[in-house]
Amino acid sequence: AQTVTQSQPEMSVQEAETVTLSCTYDTSENNYYLFWYKQPPSRQMILVIRQEAYKQQNATENRFSVNFQKAAKSFSLKISDSQLGDTAMYFCAFSDSGTYKYIFGTGTRLKVLA
C-alpha cells in the first residue's frame, strides 16, 4: 500500500527567508503524481504545485519549487521569499495513475514570522 510521510509537524520561517518542507512516499508504481496542497486556517485546501513522476524536471510555480528524487522517493517543497500569507498547513499527496484517489501525509504546519 502506498504511504506518504511528512516528518516535520511544525516549522517556522522568517518573512522573506526560504524554507523547505519534506515529504517521502512509498509505492511500487512507476507512473504516479505528487502534489503539495496548502490549507490556510479555516480555509479550503488549495493546490500549490504538482509533479508527474515521469518528468525528470522539477516543477516550479513562482516562489514554490519542488525537489523530486524518484529513486529516493522524496518530494520536498521549497518556498522562497516567504510571505505572511504562506502561513498554513501544507499537505503532501500521492496519486497513482489507476485509482486517482489521493493519499495524504499528516501535514506540516508552517508559520511565517514577521
Partner 1 sequence: DTGVSQDPRHKITKRGQNVTFRCDPISEHNRLYWYRQTLGQGPEFLTYFQNEAQLEKSRLLSDRFSAERPKGSFSTLEIQRTEQGDSAMYLCASSLGGTTDTQYFGPGTRLTVL
Contacting residue, 24, 33, 74, 87, with partner 1 by CB under 8 A: 33
Tell the smallest beta-carbon distance from residue 61 to partner 1 (Å): 12
3 lies in the binding site for partner 1 (CB under 8 A): no
Considering the complex, state which of residue 44 and residue 114 has its C-beta at the smaller distance from partner 1: 44
7 lies in the binding site for partner 1 (CB under 8 A): no
Cell 502506498 locates to 2
85 lies in the binding site for partner 1 (CB under 8 A): no
Considering the complex, state which of residue 18 and residue 54 has its C-beta at the smaller distance from partner 1: 54
13 lies in the binding site for partner 1 (CB under 8 A): no
* Partners of 76 in the β-ladder: 67
Instruction: List C-alpha distances in Å: 16 to 33, 76, 85, 114.
Output: 29, 19, 12, 9
**Is 75 in contact with 23 (CB distance < 8 Å)?**
yes
Dist CA 63 CA 114 (whole Å): 18
